[in-house]
Structure 1
Amino acid sequence: MAVLLVANRGEVAVRVLRAAADLGIRTVAVYAEDDASSLHVTLADRAVALRGPSPYLDVDQILDAAAGCVAVHPGWGFLSENAAFARACEARGLAFVGPSADVLELLGDKRRARTLAASLGIPVLDAQPGEFPVMVKAVLGGGGKGMRAVYAPEDLDSAVEACQAEALAAFGAGDVYLERLMPSARHIEVQLVGTSVIGDRDCSLQLRHQKVVEIAPAPLLEPGTRKALHTAAAEIAAAAGYTGVGTVEFLVSGDSFAFLEVNPRLQVEHTVTEMVSGVDLVRTQLLLAWGGDVDYTPLDRGSAVQVRVNQTSGGVLSSFALPSGPGVRVDTHGYVGYRVGTHYDGLLAKLVVHGEDLDVALNRARRALREFRIDGVSTNLDFLKSLLSQEIVGATTDFVVEEPVDGMRAPLAGTVVAVSPDSVVLEAMKMQHVVRVSDDVLVSVGDTVSEGQLLASGTGESTEDSFEVDLEEIRPDLAEVLARHEFDRPEAAAKRHAAGGRTARENIADLCSDFVEYGGLAIAAQRARRSLDELIERTPADGMVAGIGVVNGQRIVAMSYDYAVLAGTQGLRNHQKKDRLFALAQQENLPVVLFAEGGGGRPGDTDHSMVSGLDCGSFHAFAQLSGQVPLIGVVAGRCFAGNAVLLGTCDVIIAVEGANIGMGGPAMIEGGGLGVFRPEDIGPLDVQIPNGVVDIAVSSEAEAVAVARKYLSYFQDSTTDWSCEDQRLLRHAVPENRLRAYDIRKVIDTLADTDSVLELRKGFGKAIVTALVRVEGRPIALIANDPNVLGGAIDADAADKCARFLQLADAFDIPVVSLTDTPGFMVGPEAERTATVRHLTRMVVTGANLTVPFGLIILRKAYGLGAQAMAAGSLKVPQFAISWPTGEFGPMGLEGAVKLGFKRVLDAIEDPQERRQRYDQMVEAAYEHGKALNVASVFEIDDVIDPADTRRWITTALAPTTSRQRQGKKRPFIDTW
């Protein structure tokens, strides 16, 4: 099936994704790390995170995300007019939904487009040397960005510099040019598909060169002028060899007009033309890109008005109710709970209304604006309501500036306490609020005003220069805060570095692409025994750096004890911060990464009334997160007592070489009368790895952070940039000699995506390998018997290890694949001393209650209850049960079955050589009977396959699991053992 990459965000991405879905086209979205909650991410069939400061302009990342796609839709803005991007798409065999790169170079460059128009005899606005006013405009892009009006020569240099910077940030190119300013003109656009005119629209109502209201068709336009505009637009398109959807823009004054530019792409205002023409322009784009037949003959369907609802602040949408009714359409990417940022264009929604005539359309627009209910962010809705209450039909581009929008009104009820020519000060609830005005103040000191009451006839726009703020100035109150935040302890950091370690902040900075700290100004609760300055210097953040960060494009809670602060001990504020972050993790389903180095409870805090401290809720709160969100513990150095309890609660423990982990440190052990020990003698890794406490051992903190990031990825998204080894290698992975061992880890590495294997508890329960892997980018929990350990027999430790791993997979909806080669459970007197009856059946009970998809692949031996345990209880339980040609099955091992079942027959043969020969014959017969092909012939398993097809079975027969973003818990908790 054809796949389309949408190289944009927000409302336009939503619009394109929906149009593609209507056509049955699968889609891939891209998103910046700070844009992961945008609606377009969830509407696509697949979404790929982009990294870096300007990800939507990163051609290489976007094209890498397009792997497997056949086309790219650029939307508007960003790379939509970038010829180099279009050419790069073509180089990778991707269709660019838009004109060719050559046409983009011609028309996307506004200077060349002007030259083309002039060559056709179409009027243009040439700027003459020394002539003012002029307009500084970006060569590429649109949307009012990179544009300034300049009325005096002394303002030209600063305007050029500002436009260049804005254009570079928005479009990736900072070139600008000058154009003669045409005052009191109307901004009229002609919509094209190829060289065919679909209609026109009036886009004159603009605020700071940003369009806010559009009307289609353009009203009050002389028929001759309208025809001339249509003809000029079609001539330009024909001369350029234009294909696809585009717009030609003009300025119109009376019956004269001048060419402005061509937008060789979709525009924000395309929707208003769709409403009157009946032509779905995005659908038309996609059909043209796919080479389909398209009927884009426009209709004549009354009038339409589009109003742009913009956010004017960031925040979270706590309510988002949209208008509806006949002739009302709202295009948006907003939803309740959406965190609206300020890094991108402020367009939040487009209100598009239609009526049989313009009066009906305008009345509907006014009614619809009143129906909007948006809370959590500031918007321009009041401005739009006021604007549409005026006579706007036939307005020029100067209208919003020349006709102030209904004066300046009181933002709240209060009393006027001061009045000046440029401001009114209101007092309410003992707070003073300054309202900027320009002139004609209508109130006096002492007046009581209500919310919305008119304070002045001017809007304050004309006095903007009077209130310029030095953006470089740091006020004293801010300077005090910044000084505290920037407080550093170079001696402590140097000591840490000298020991080969990293600071708490260095680890978190390495882990997270972005991070906001909670409680960074907290200090130890010891004011009764230390001065404030000493506490600030010696106990920054109370020894706990904690906050919300972004890892692999998704939010997490990250926290690290700071061993350089009171040995990383747990203090009062330290616990309060943990409680705060644990609550946020629970509320918002955020994984937790805990750097746990530290000495446990701190006895030196004084600023409290506690006696025992046993009412501390941190341990309970953290334990409650088990099974709801992934919990990752990282430890370097010493980790004792309370720190070790939190570490042991984690799903996975990543330990750095040289770490020591213990439920009690030297002081606690000595205090309990148990002897005197050095810290390095308590719980070293040569103890904690083979006993199963540590899941993954690494050589450095940097490696620990990398492993933590990799571990998290399995609980986040599938990946697209995967590769794998030649799967034909699997045909030779298991020797033909059924008694010869082989390397199961080599099998796993070959089967899984390259570099995707992360093995857990490698040094414990060695008879079973447990690893997180990926197959075609999808996370998989893999269990496998190791024939080099106990011949693959499952002992108590291996069963415990496997059972816990299965709980982990089930809790977070990760499918399980079992690579089975086992003679069964470990038996015998020595085995029973390890309580195998309970430990082995723990694996059986866990497997039988899994809810995730389960796939069984028999590599060689599948004998007895051990094989059934590896199959989640039965060959008929998994979604598929298949075998490689080397598979052999039976209720117990073949050799043992022959010895027990035919003991009398064999004992009756006196000649040892003859007895051995007879025994071998019986074993061979048993092998033929239990051979995979024979087992498949009675349909006890689903198939015997070519090992090279194993990945295909996994990706096809294992259904995708539910979203990783489930709310609440699926299992009560994940066993810590």
Structure 2
Amino acid sequence: MSTLLVANRGEVAVRVLRTAADLGLRTVAVHSTDDADALHVRLADVAVRLDGEGPAPYLDPDQLVKAALEHGCDLVHPGYGFLSENADFARACAEAGLVFVGPSPEVLALLGDKSRARALAASLDIPVLEGTGPVDLAAAREFFTGPVMVKAVAGGGGKGMREVHRAEDLPAAFERCRAEALAAFGDGEVYLERLLTRARHVEVQLVGTTVLGDRDCSLQSGHQKVVEIAPAPRLAAGVRAGLHDAAARIAEAVDYTGVGTVEFLVSPDGGFVFLEANPRLQVEHTVTEEVTGVDLVRAQLVLAAGGTPDLTRHDRGCAVQLRITLGSAGTVAVFQPATGPGVRVDTHAYGGYRAGDRFDALLAKLVVHADDLDTALRKARRALAEFRVDGVPTNLPFLHDLLERDLTDAHTGFLDELPAPPTGDGPRSPVHGTVVAVEPGAVVVEAMKMQHVVPVGDGRVLVAVGDTVTEGAPLAESGTADAVAEVEQADLDAIRPDLAEVLARHDFRRPDAEAKRHAAGRRTARENVADLCDPDGFVEYGGLAIAAQRQRRSVAELVERTPADGLVAGIGTVDGRRAVVMSYDYAVLAGTQGVRNHAKLDRMLALAEQRRLPVVLFAEGGGGRPGDTDHGMVSGLDTGSFHAMAKLSGLVPLVGVVSGRCFAGNAVLLGTCDVIIATADANIGMGGPAMVEGGGLGVFRPEEIGPMDVQVPNGVVDVAVADEAEAVAVARRYLSYFGGPKADWTAPDQRLLRHAVPENRLRAYDVRTVVETIADTGEVLELRRAFGRGIVTALVRVEGRPFGLIANDPAHLGGAIDADAADKAARFLRLCDAFDLPVLSLCDTPGFMVGPDAERTATVRHLTRMMVAAADLDVPFGLVVLRKAYGLGAQAMAGGSLAVPGFAVSWPSGEFGPMGLEGAVRLGFRRELEAIDDPAERQAAFDRMVAASYEHGKALNLAAAFEIDDVIDPADTRRWISSSLTADRGEQRRERRRKVVDTW
């Protein structure tokens, strides 16, 4: 077994990936389209994007099995939730030759069906509560004679569960459980069970048929576990033994393999009943690990691979887990978990993480371990006080208050019996969410796929189904009769006719056009804008504009067919920073440029200049539109858009994104951008087929003009991507380098750099590995990779700070700089200089390309262009010589001279000279070598001369002559960068002249 696919997300995916890496397994992660920035995606060796958003892709067995097979996986770990107890998924894995990390499909089908599991327990003489199998509402009503629990058949994690005390409340609870279970597990069946009150929830941990221990999970809110303790405290020895025996009998009855849990309810008199069996890893497995010393995830993987895990227990003290959950969606601005002896935090959160409302609310698990429960609770209080999460509301204050209470008599209803916090003049919403039901005496608010029932008594309800409410928003009033009457005079939900007309015009949905785009494998313009911008972070300008064609078409037709005149434009926030975002809409008149959208374009470009906002342009379209009639123009050559766009060069970052066809005027706007990001199916040309044919240049299909196999290697495209989703992600990432430093970062082990350059000075190596090791983890964005291949140009971060980086690639032309590479480097240096990015140069070059073929490429002009661009830099500039630094090429990499950079250092492998050693020896000692008749002696003499030249020009000798600043341990490279390229540039930078970014 060598490769593991983790079919899950969040903290459990992070947990499994880390353990798998520790075992030496190659790992593959999966993610939905809206989960691409999740931590588990970064930690895996390979990340696979699934089709779809939200939970649905994680519940799609076909996609998961396909991803596993396509990436050579042997094992599939389902985590918990989603498909972890789905027998069909386990069976599909087995049929595909994949090992499912868990029990057999037959055992999953038995234990995953809560009603069948109850029947199994009863057959083994283990007490169970009276209950039903899967039922419809009619059968549920027939069973109801007193308080019951409605539960999902395929449930777990507290989802799909509702207490019902009154028969009239049963239908609403029944439907909520069905909806919740269907969303969480893909199965909406439910069953009923008699309600046992004031009971403790105790579960027994299994590894195979071995009982590993127990834990108390009684502290629950709305059947969601909040605090777990291991071992279960205050449990009589006889009761504990009975629980362990019952769990073992169930495991033996099904010949259980893998990790699993059997759950019980323990009544105040010490009796117990079987609750359910969970044939998977539990969220609260951490506390059992802490008190036994057994790594349960490792045990799962070892068992799945056919091995025998080490289950040697080292019983030690007590452990407590507290679940830290989100109150609403948002961006985690600061994430600072508690640390210290005996403190463990399992999480997928980080500073900058965007927590959506489509997944489980669990943000982190705080686990503490101590010798006894009292000490563990004190340690938990201390850890909670240290834990800091800013940017999103969490339950940290609630947990802190909870641990101040006496928890001696905790039971499953303990938290729900606590007095509700004061709500001012009426009940308020506990979360930011949507009102999904208004029932007698209650309002139901849904957030993060969980429904919160807020009692309102007989107070007047202020909201209606479908309303979005913020956290703390009033849901009902209990004021005086006069106040109620005053409010009732105005129907806050009523829509006036004038507002209704406006709202109707702002409905830009066009199902037929959207379906056509999707059928072609492309997104709509609005979908791309929505993906780029933060949620609710885009304000559209000119959305009501229509094409200037009233002389040809009716207004109704123009409203229907030309919304926004084919240009979606506005100001949005991208990762919290404002930007002008514009997207030509190919579904409107082929994305052409009309009178109205030219006016909108000019308006947005003026705002970008005034407010110094970056510009992102989705440029798919066909250029000028000949069909507009509502104007008095003759040539239209006085249009100011192209001048306005070009005028922004060097003032603000300009990002161009293209998928599909981009011709004529659209291509000009695209070409003005600092960076062009293009999908594999894009075509970019200064003229489309009609213009080419009209010029008498032949008849061509659109796909023949400027395809990516032309525009990527020729340098027009800076970053080639697979599709629009990746293009948007790259655009967001590109903009991040111009938004300042990041507080949170990690870096590879810098000792790897000591072995990055081969000891054999003639051996090529991968310079991108050097770049990725020097930079912060995952913080390298390379531009124009397929063009000018002798030099790598990339945006990077070091200790969170953005930099520009150029590096010779010895794997191409030995690192020699040709005309294309020089052009590429020159433009990149101007880009960095324009936007105040310090530049790091990694030198390993034998010099410029020379010879007749090189001169046919206008070498003299192109290579000196790089010299001029480097000499013009105002930003801090540093040089690190990795190996070869010869001639004018090395001087160009150094900004013109070794005396120019803010620091010029070399690795021990560095070698310097006015030209390559071998060539210098052959030229300088030609007569001496020719005088030696014996070829072997001549070669030996040549080798001695080369060695002597190497000794003379090696880095240590240059440092001794103080021609460079130092020869450094490669592992210290980041320290030189962070110390020497971050100096305050003061007034000189603020007053300097503007630098235009060369389009080439």
> Does the pair score TM above 0.5?
yes
**Aligned equivalents of 1:199, 1:476: Cα separation in 2:** 60
> What is the match of residue 36 of structure 1?
36
CA deviation after TM superposition for structure 1 residue 313, in Å? 0.5
Please list the CA deviations of residues 909-936 of structure 1 after superposition, one character each: whole Å capped at 9, or x if unmatched: xxxxxxxxxxxxxxxxxxxxxxxxxxxx
Q: Evaluate the alpha carbon distance shift between residue 59 and residue 505 of structure 1 in structure 2; reply closer, same or farther with a 3 A threshold.
A: closer
The structure with the largest alpha-carbon Rg is 1
Contact 1:598/1:643 (CA < 8 Å) preserved in 2?
Answer: no
Please list the CA deviations of residues 560-589 of structure 1 after superposition, one character each: whole Å capped at 9, or x if unmatched: 2776897166656534545888999998xx
Residue correspondence of structure 1 range 858-937 to structure 2 within 5 A: none
CA deviation after TM superposition for structure 1 residue 222, in Å? 2.0
Instruction: State whether structure 2 residue 409 is matched by structure 1 residue 394.
Output: yes
CA deviation after TM superposition for structure 1 residue 182, in Å? 1.3
Contact 1:542/1:565 (CA < 8 Å) preserved in 2?
Answer: no
CA deviation after TM superposition for structure 1 residue 141, in Å? 3.2
Please list the CA deviations of residues 828-876 of structure 1 after superposition, one character each: whole Å capped at 9, or x if unmatched: xxx97x9575469989999xx9x9999xxxxxxxxxxxxxxxxxxxxxx
Q: Evaluate the alpha carbon distance shift between residue 380 and residue 61 of structure 1 in structure 2; reply closer, same or farther with a 3 A threshold.
A: same
Residue correspondence of structure 1 range 63-74 to structure 2 within 5 A: 63-66=65-68, 67-74=71-78
Residue correspondence of structure 1 range 673-822 to structure 2 within 5 A: 709-710=722-723
Match of 2:504 among 463, 467, 483: 483
Q: Evaluate the alpha carbon distance shift between residue 655 and residue 623 of structure 1 in structure 2; reply closer, same or farther with a 3 A threshold.
A: farther
* Partner SS, residue 328 of structure 2: coil
**Aligned equivalents of 2:511, 2:214: Cα separation in 1:** 65
Instruction: State whether structure 2 residue 77 is matched by structure 1 residue 62.
Output: no
276-285 or 314-323, larger mean C-alpha shift: 276-285
Q: Evaluate the alpha carbon distance shift between residue 804 and residue 486 of structure 1 in structure 2; reply closer, same or farther with a 3 A threshold.
A: farther
Match of 2:130 among 126, 129, 135: 126
Q: Evaluate the alpha carbon distance shift between residue 141 and residue 565 of structure 1 in structure 2; reply closer, same or farther with a 3 A threshold.
A: same
Contact 1:29/1:47 (CA < 8 Å) preserved in 2?
Answer: yes
Residue correspondence of structure 1 range 192-203 to structure 2 within 5 A: 192-203=206-217
**Aligned equivalents of 2:95, 2:123: Cα separation in 1:** 32
Please list the CA deviations of residues 275-320 of structure 1 after superposition, one character each: whole Å capped at 9, or x if unmatched: 2222222222223223344332333322222111100101111122
Please list the CA deviations of residues 539-558 of structure 1 after superposition, one character each: whole Å capped at 9, or x if unmatched: 964763147899xxxx9976
* Partner SS, residue 339 of structure 2: coil
CA deviation after TM superposition for structure 1 residue 174, in Å? 2.1
Residue 119 of structure 2 aligns with an amino acid whose one-letter code is T
Residue 375 of structure 1 aligns with an amino acid whose one-letter code is D
**Aligned equivalents of 2:113, 2:308: Cα separation in 1:** 30
**Aligned equivalents of 1:464, 1:296: Cα separation in 2:** 57
> What is the match of residue 24 of structure 1?
24
CA deviation after TM superposition for structure 1 residue 150, in Å? 2.4
Contact 1:520/1:541 (CA < 8 Å) preserved in 2?
Answer: no
> What is the match of residue 192 of structure 2?
178
308-317 or 200-209, larger mean C-alpha shift: 200-209
Please list the CA deviations of residues 490-547 of structure 1 after superposition, one character each: whole Å capped at 9, or x if unmatched: 99x89xx9xxx99998466589988878343536999xxx9xx999999964763147
**Aligned equivalents of 2:128, 2:264: Cα separation in 1:** 9
Residue 282 of structure 1 aligns with an amino acid whose one-letter code is V
CA deviation after TM superposition for structure 1 residue 400, in Å? 1.7
Contact 2:663/2:684 (CA < 8 Å) preserved in 1?
Answer: yes
* Partner SS, residue 258 of structure 1: strand
**Aligned equivalents of 1:41, 1:467: Cα separation in 2:** 43
RMSD: 6.9
* Partner SS, residue 141 of structure 1: strand
Q: Evaluate the alpha carbon distance shift between residue 689 and residue 88 of structure 1 in structure 2; reply closer, same or farther with a 3 A threshold.
A: closer
* Partner SS, residue 229 of structure 1: helix
* Partner SS, residue 140 of structure 1: strand
Q: Evaluate the alpha carbon distance shift between residue 560 and residue 694 of structure 1 in structure 2; reply closer, same or farther with a 3 A threshold.
A: same
> What is the match of residue 237 of structure 1?
251
Instruction: State whether structure 2 residue 526 is matched by structure 1 residue 522.
Output: no
Residue correspondence of structure 1 range 487-526 to structure 2 within 5 A: 487=508, 506=524, 509=527, 518-522=538-542
Residue 211 of structure 1 aligns with an amino acid whose one-letter code is K
CA deviation after TM superposition for structure 1 residue 5, in Å? 1.6
Q: Evaluate the alpha carbon distance shift between residue 659 and residue 22 of structure 1 in structure 2; reply closer, same or farther with a 3 A threshold.
A: closer
Please list the CA deviations of residues 2-61 of structure 1 after superposition, one character each: whole Å capped at 9, or x if unmatched: 222211111111111222223333322111111111111112222221112411112222
**Aligned equivalents of 2:631, 2:853: Cα separation in 1:** 51
CA deviation after TM superposition for structure 1 residue 118, in Å? 0.6
Q: Could you tell me the TM-score, scaled by structure 2's length?
A: 0.60
Residue correspondence of structure 1 range 109-508 to structure 2 within 5 A: 109-127=113-131, 129-253=143-267, 254-404=269-419, 407-408=421-422, 419=425, 422=426, 461=455, 463=457, 467=461, 469-472=463-466, 476=495, 482-487=503-508, 506=524
Match of 2:594 among 567, 579, 592: 567
Residue 14 of structure 2 aligns with an amino acid whose one-letter code is V
Contact 2:823/2:863 (CA < 8 Å) preserved in 1?
Answer: no
Percent of aligned positions that are identical: 47
Q: Evaluate the alpha carbon distance shift between residue 464 and residue 344 of structure 1 in structure 2; reply closer, same or farther with a 3 A threshold.
A: farther
Residue 464 of structure 2 aligns with an amino acid whose one-letter code is D
Contact 1:5/1:73 (CA < 8 Å) preserved in 2?
Answer: yes
**Aligned equivalents of 2:818, 2:367: Cα separation in 1:** 63
Residue 620 of structure 2 aligns with an amino acid whose one-letter code is F
CA deviation after TM superposition for structure 1 residue 350, in Å? 1.0
Q: Evaluate the alpha carbon distance shift between residue 408 and residue 646 of structure 1 in structure 2; reply closer, same or farther with a 3 A threshold.
A: same
Residue 5 of structure 2 aligns with an amino acid whose one-letter code is L
**Aligned equivalents of 1:19, 1:678: Cα separation in 2:** 59
> What is the match of residue 619 of structure 2?
594
Please list the CA deviations of residues 650-679 of structure 1 after superposition, one character each: whole Å capped at 9, or x if unmatched: 4779999997659xxxxxxxxxxxxxx999
Contact 2:684/2:705 (CA < 8 Å) preserved in 1?
Answer: no
**Aligned equivalents of 1:584, 1:76: Cα separation in 2:** 48
Residue correspondence of structure 1 range 820-839 to structure 2 within 5 A: 825=852, 838=861
**Aligned equivalents of 1:655, 1:79: Cα separation in 2:** 35
Q: Evaluate the alpha carbon distance shift between residue 371 and residue 682 of structure 1 in structure 2; reply closer, same or farther with a 3 A threshold.
A: farther
**Aligned equivalents of 1:132, 1:113: Cα separation in 2:** 23
Instruction: State whether structure 2 residue 676 is matched by structure 1 residue 646.
Output: no
Q: Evaluate the alpha carbon distance shift between residue 302 and residue 690 of structure 1 in structure 2; reply closer, same or farther with a 3 A threshold.
A: closer
Please list the CA deviations of residues 384-406 of structure 1 after superposition, one character each: whole Å capped at 9, or x if unmatched: 2222222222322111222225x
**Aligned equivalents of 1:239, 1:369: Cα separation in 2:** 42
* Partner SS, residue 90 of structure 1: helix
> What is the match of residue 428 of structure 1?
none
Contact 2:658/2:682 (CA < 8 Å) preserved in 1?
Answer: no
* Partner SS, residue 155 of structure 2: coil
**Aligned equivalents of 1:42, 1:649: Cα separation in 2:** 25
Residue 366 of structure 1 aligns with an amino acid whose one-letter code is R
* Partner SS, residue 639 of structure 1: helix
Please list the CA deviations of residues 701-760 of structure 1 after superposition, one character each: whole Å capped at 9, or x if unmatched: xxx9x997459969989xxxxxxxxxxxxxxxxxxxxxxxxxxxxxxxxxxxxxxxxxx9
Q: Evaluate the alpha carbon distance shift between residue 92 and residue 310 of structure 1 in structure 2; reply closer, same or farther with a 3 A threshold.
A: same
**Aligned equivalents of 1:479, 1:404: Cα separation in 2:** 43
**Aligned equivalents of 1:65, 1:661: Cα separation in 2:** 40
Q: Evaluate the alpha carbon distance shift between residue 13 and residue 557 of structure 1 in structure 2; reply closer, same or farther with a 3 A threshold.
A: farther
**Unpaired segments of 5 or more residues in structure 1?**
411-418, 426-437, 440-458, 606-610, 663-676, 699-703, 718-759, 771-780, 786-797, 816-821, 855-890, 892-937, 939-961
Q: Evaluate the alpha carbon distance shift between residue 16 and residue 172 of structure 1 in structure 2; reply closer, same or farther with a 3 A threshold.
A: same
Residue 35 of structure 1 aligns with an amino acid whose one-letter code is D
Q: Evaluate the alpha carbon distance shift between residue 155 and residue 565 of structure 1 in structure 2; reply closer, same or farther with a 3 A threshold.
A: farther
Contact 2:528/2:728 (CA < 8 Å) preserved in 1?
Answer: no
Q: Evaluate the alpha carbon distance shift between residue 511 and residue 21 of structure 1 in structure 2; reply closer, same or farther with a 3 A threshold.
A: same
Contact 1:198/1:297 (CA < 8 Å) preserved in 2?
Answer: no
**Aligned equivalents of 2:667, 2:264: Cα separation in 1:** 74
Match of 1:99 among 81, 103, 106: 103
CA deviation after TM superposition for structure 1 residue 460, in Å? 6.2
Contact 1:655/1:694 (CA < 8 Å) preserved in 2?
Answer: yes
Please list the CA deviations of residues 355-411 of structure 1 after superposition, one character each: whole Å capped at 9, or x if unmatched: 322222222222322222211111112222222222222322111222225x3266x
Q: Evaluate the alpha carbon distance shift between residue 575 and residue 250 of structure 1 in structure 2; reply closer, same or farther with a 3 A threshold.
A: farther
Q: Could you tell me the TM-score, scaled by structure 1's length?
A: 0.61
